[in-house]
Amino acid sequence: MVDRRSGVPAFRQVAADLRQKISAGNYAPGDQLPSERELTEVYDVSRPTVRDAINMLRAEGLVTSEHGRGVFVRPPATIQRIARARLSREARAKNKGAFLADAAARGFTPSTSVKIRFEEADSRVAEHLALAEGAEITVRDRVMRADGLVVQLAVSRLPRDFTRGTAIEEVDTGKGGAYARLEEAGHQIGRFVEHVGARMPTPDEATLLQLAEGVPIVTVTRVAIGVDGRPLEMNDMVLAGDRYELSYEWAAD
């Protein structure tokens, strides 16, 4: 039952009570909540009010509702740890890229689809690649799947000058991937920089990555920098926030 005089909106009181019951374990992960109509009686409010409360919990990622079935406490997804700094030349030489090797090791059947296009650099791309705005760039747009399910989106951008006449402008970059082709062309990679952030997905991303509501995405922008200090490639990656975690490691000194 909600307190009408407290000044706190009814739907917030309902949401707070359900949230508390979930975290206290009254409703365990996977459990079904009482139906919306039952909750209207429990709290003595109308159905839209109950729905407002459930919408809050859904936006927080606490519950999911299934049409025709009910509302359920969202069980925590199993988190895959992705270790970075695994881009050494030896590792690259053995396979086509970190993703395919990693997926195979985990027992998934990996697959990727690639689209290649050419664009002009916008301000963000120009900054990361140290180019002038409007400079021609090669864009490799990849969708990565494990057992058919999309697990990662990646958009790789390189100055066109570095890719002309190489397999980087082909769908199949060949053994060792794009980085190997870059080094063959004389662009030795010196170091990597990654920028990690988070945001809510666009509806397209949510559909592709099959994200439940209230699940953010992790964005990673990796820049490969040559031994001469020139940026060679930038790679924008998008991961489901509830399924992936990135790990970085470095020596204390």
Partner DNA sequence: TCGGACAGCTGGTCAAGACAAGCTTACCAG
Partner DNA sequence: CTGGTAAGCTTGTCTTGACCAGCTGTCCGA
Closest CB to a copy of itself among residues 113, 124 = 124
Structure tokens belonging to residue 50: 């109950």
Contact residues toward a copy of itself (CB under 8 A) are 16, 19, 48, 55, 59-61, 79, 81, 84-85, 87-89, 189-203, 213-218, 224, 241-242, 244-253
Q: How far is the CB of 209 from DNA (least distance, A)?
A: 19
Minimum Å gap between C-beta 191 and DNA is 46
36 versus 194: smaller Cβ distance to DNA? 36
The torsion angles phi and psi of 90, rounded to 5 degrees, stand at -60, -45
Q: How far apart, in whole angstroms, are the C-alpha atoms of residue 115 and residue 171?
A: 7
Minimum CB separation from DNA for residue 247, in Å?
Answer: 35
* Cα distance between residue 45 and residue 149, in whole Å: 41
Q: Which of 239, 219, 232 is nearest to 138 (CA)?
A: 232
Separation between Cα atoms, residue 10 and residue 3, nearest integer Å? 8
Q: How many residues does the chain have?
A: 253
Place of tokens 């307190």: 3
Residue 244 amino acid letter: Y
Q: Which is nearer to DNA, 48 or 197 (CB)?
A: 48
Per-residue CA distances from 163 to 117, 166, 181, 200 (Å): 12, 5, 9, 33
- Minimum distance between the CB of residue 59 and DNA, rounded to whole angstroms? 13
CB of 217 to DNA, least distance (A): 21
- If we measure between CA atoms, which residue out of 27, 50, 28, 48 comes closest to residue 38? 50
Residue 171 interaction partner, one of DNA, a copy of itself, none, beta carbon < 5-8 Å per kind: none
Phi, psi of 169, deg, nearest 5 = -90, 5
Q: Cα separation of 139 and 51, whole Å?
A: 43
The nearest distance, CB 67 to DNA, in angstroms, is 4
Residue 89 interacts with which of DNA, a copy of itself, none, CB < 5 to 8 Å by class: a copy of itself
Instruction: Report what 79 binds from a copy of itself, DNA, none; CB cut-off 5-8 Å by kind.
Output: a copy of itself
Interaction site with DNA (CB under 7 A): 7, 9-12, 33, 35-38, 44-49, 51-52, 54, 65-71
- The option from a copy of itself, DNA, none interacting with 133 (CB < 5 to 8 A, set by class) reads none
Query: Is the Cβ of residue 65 or residue 221 nearer to DNA in the bound state?
Result: 65
Which of 144, 217 has the CB closer to a copy of itself?
A: 217
Residue 137 and residue 121 in contact, taking contact as beta carbons nearer than 8 Å: yes
**Of the two residues 84 and 145, which places its CB atom closer to a copy of itself in the complex?**
84
